[in-house]
Chain A
Amino acid sequence: MHELSLAQGLVKQLLQLATEHHADRVVKATVRIGPLAGVVVDSFCFGFDAVKSMSSVTRETILELDCPPAVYRCPACGWEGEVCRPANVLCPGCGIQGRTFPVGDDDLILQQVELEGDDETLSGSEQKEGK
């Protein structure tokens, strides 16, 4: 349920960027959600769609997500796979019975935005590093 708070924060960030660069619209926002970020991606998208419509600047914004899958690792041999193996199943790598553990990052990052605005006033034509 905290996905809505995160979506609200994202829209606020987008509006701020649009103001800073004198843009009229945010065309696209690219967000990375790490596998251990604790975010339900569908809920986040739902929240974003609900919140973005509150401003004409973000109403049409396309949300592009980079969500790498969680990878689970066997603590005994280091075998990795995309399925969480329960405790009572043998590891395909070493044959030892035991649970796999998730590995990966917990990034929640606004990577890129595409802004649209007046040819003369829109700033940031060069690629600019964020704060």
Chain B
Amino acid sequence: MCDQCGCHIPAGVGNPLPEKSKTVTLTVNQRLLAANDEQASINRRHAEGQGAVLINLISSPGGGKTTLLERTITSLDKELKIGVLEGDIETERDAERLRAHGVPVVPLTTGGACHLDAPLVYQGLRRLDELFGGAGCDVVFIENVGNLVCPATFDLGEHFRVVLLSVPEGSDKPAKYPRAFLTSQVFLVTKTDLLPHFDFSLEEVKADALGVNPGLFILPLSATTGAGVDAWLHWLKSVVEGRKQLHAARKQ
């Protein structure tokens, strides 16, 4: 043992401590996600500078995010300029599915990470700007990595967080995975065309989700049959309109 300070490094090998050392205790009170959150604020301002609404879509794998986006793009591509940042752990399959609908898509392949973070989204936003040729767009969807847990912790700079839960997943999920529902503003119950085939209670899912987050706006829909989709599109158009008015007011 070291004879100067009692550390485990044998005497004579070299003491890592300076001869006269002291310790100080600092009160820091800094969030662990401070760096991510600062970048998220930059992302938000970046989108606002172009009058665009940023929407972060969160669900488990297979929750219906890509199908909802396909339906949304097909329904609104004449009214709104839509861009997509497509998060996936591997492959560009979802990005290709959406590109087939003629909208600019930037794949964000995390290569293993279970969530998107604000710095990665910023890179995506810059690349999306290039695809739009500097003309900007009305709404950017960030399709997060399929995961109902980890993405809920990371602010990407979105204006709205939308959580999706599909009927086959079961109506107990808002109670079991509360954070995604706690941090979202909109909750879409997807694949409602499958309700007759599953033991899924819309009443239970609504009560549980509102128990976690009383301000949650809940919309059940089926992107396959189109049931309930109009309400979603209406909400989307209204937030885009709201953002446009805010953007115009700021410019004056």
Enumerate chain A interface residues (CB-CB to B < 8 A). Answer: 1-2, 5-6, 9-10, 12-13, 17, 21, 23-25, 27, 31, 36-39, 56, 75, 84, 87, 99, 101-102, 106-120, 122-125, 127-131
Contacts and interface: CB of A to CB of B under 8 A. Distances in A.
A39 B28 CA distance: 21
Given A38-B179, A101-B211, A102-B178, A115 B32 contact: no
Given A36-B179, A106-B179, A119 B30 contact: no
Contact of A110 (B25, B28, B153): B28
A13 B23 CA distance: 18
Contact of B153 (A2, A24, A113, A114): A2
Please name the 4 residue pairs, one residue from A and one from B, whose CB atoms are nearest each other, closest first: A2-B150, A119-B20, A130-B28, A38-B179
A115 B28 contact: no
A120 B26 CA distance: 17
Contact of B25 (A31, A36, A75, A127): A127
B120 to A, nearest CB: 11
Contacts of B26: 17, 21, 112-115, 124, 127-128, 130
Contacts of A117: 18, 21-22
Interface in B21-79: 21-36
A114 B32 contact: no
Nearest to A117: B21
B117 interface: yes
Contacts of B154: 2
10 contacts: A9-B32, A24-B17, A25-B17, A38-B179, A109-B31, A111-B27, A113-B28, A117-B21, A118-B20, A118-B22
B212 interface: yes
Interface in B152-182: 152-154, 175, 178-179, 182
Given A6-B32, A10-B32, A24 B21 contact: yes
Given A1-B114, A17-B26, A87-B204, 18 more contacts: A2-B115, A2-B149, A6-B33, A9-B33, A9-B35, A13-B35, A36-B182, A38-B179, A84-B175, A99-B211, A108-B32, A110-B32, A118-B18, A128-B26, A128-B27, A130-B29, A131-B30, A131-B34
A10 B26 CA distance: 15
A5 B113 contact: yes
A108 to B, nearest CB: 4
A108 B29 contact: no
A117 B17 CA distance: 8
B16 interface: yes
B24 A111 contact: no
Nearest to B32: A108
A63 B182 CA distance: 28
A25 B9 CA distance: 15
